[in-house]
Structure 1
Amino acid sequence: MSFESTRRRLTEKQADTVDRLTKAAVEVLRAEGFAGLTVRSVAGLAGVAPATAYTYFSSKEHLVAEVFWRRLAASPEEADASLDRTGRVVAVLRHIALLVADEPELAGAVTSALLGRDPDVEHLRTRIGIEIRQRLADALGSNPDPDVLESLELLYAGGLVRAGMGYGSYTEFADRLETSAKLILE
């Protein structure tokens, strides 16, 4: 799958470099955590000059936000037609919540990164938000109530921050999203 860069369109060679950098970022996160992650260390692991890495990623937050964006974009959730509206919404929320659940260092880093003020992170945060909103709107069906849609978005965002703060695992976060979404929708 090809991804549009935050900063510009990529040639095939540039896309390969960005892929290597994002994969290396996950490896560094696993070994060093978010505090130990630097664009320079990721560049070294990816076999890329640090200056080259910085042409693609303005900060470690930008790099981690890109990793999450790519995972989200690469994992569209097909709506199960046999589910009712609540079931579809719960499936969407659970799917998104569990994208990084089995990688606690990445999950925590994503929460920290998405809260950053880097303009490139802000751009990705907007893209991520639009994607999640669209998935929720699709799950709700035609003409979703805007207040319900916004409540579900707030539920997800608040849960993400709560999980990132260590108030439970991302799997527990997914379970809590399900319970809370049912309260909103039923």
Structure 2
Amino acid sequence: MSSEAVADPQPVAAGSRRRDRRPEQTVRKVLDAGVAELRRSSFGGLTMRAVAARAGVSPASAYTYFPSKSALVAAVYLQLLRAAPVHTDVNQTTRTRVTTTLREMALVVADEPELTAACGAALMADDPAVTPVREQIAAEVITRIRAALGPGWPPAVSATLLMTFAGALMTARFLSFDQIAGQLDDAVVLVLGEPDRDG
């Protein structure tokens, strides 16, 4: 996960006002602090007060952007997901692109058990503050799946693959990455059918 702030490429014209980047920088600091806290603790032990202290902001400021720790951890997952590669190489088969896409998204937190458990717990939380982040995650996943599929596939295919991926994400606490990857591969074959449409 990159900690670089997004650069403002536009020069400031005389008399104009530069966009206030403090909220963006605060959000990034809180997200980074959330990841650091999860790496030393657990979702159960995570507190917004500790995250705010690590980020160097007031708890009130942290709560302004993330109303709960579940919303914070869900936003961490969204940020990691957005940084994952997108697979649209037309020289690969549809099945290869889709399988690789699902594997890459599943791998986002696979190497960090604390993050894996925290993301699963946060995304399943009965917390209204998580709902908009869950919707953004679903939109990101479906966009990536559709890009990997390419044109001509009915919406039900991408919707089914989204549900398959969501299920994989929820079982990541209980299965190894190799088990999840194998099950995702099998699901792609079942959903896309035989033979591979690209050849």
TM-score by length of 2: 0.82
- 2:88 corresponds in structure 1 to 79
RMSD: 1.7
* Unmatched segments (≥5 aa) in structure 1: 3-9
Structure whose residues are more often helix by fraction: 1
CA distances 1:60-118 after superposition (whole Å, capped 9, x unpaired): 00000111111112334142222111111101101100011111111111111111233
**What are the equivalent positions in structure 2 for 1:52-71 lying under 5 Å apart?**
52-71=61-80
Quick check: 111-120 or 17-26, which moved more? 111-120
Tell me the number of residue pairs that the alignment of Structure 1 and Structure 2 aligns: 177
Question: Equivalents in 2 of 1:79, 1:147: separation in Å?
Answer: 20
- 1:147 corresponds in structure 2 to 156
CA distances 1:165-185 after superposition (whole Å, capped 9, x unpaired): x1x123431232122212222
Question: Equivalents in 1 of 2:20, 2:134: separation in Å?
Answer: 24
State the one-letter code of the partner of 2:179: E
TM-score by length of 1: 0.88
State the one-letter code of the partner of 2:28: D
Question: Identity of aligned pairs, percent?
Answer: 40
**150 and 78 in structure 1: CA distance in 2 versus 1, 3 angstrom threshold:** closer
Quick check: 121-130 or 76-85, which moved more? 76-85
- 2:122 corresponds in structure 1 to 113
CA distances 1:28-64 after superposition (whole Å, capped 9, x unpaired): 1111111110111111111111111111110000000
Choose 1 or 2 for highest CA Rg.
Answer: 2
Please state if 1:182 is matched with 2:193: no
Question: Equivalents in 1 of 2:134, 2:177: separation in Å?
Answer: 19
- SS at 1:48 equivalent: coil
State the one-letter code of the partner of 1:13: R
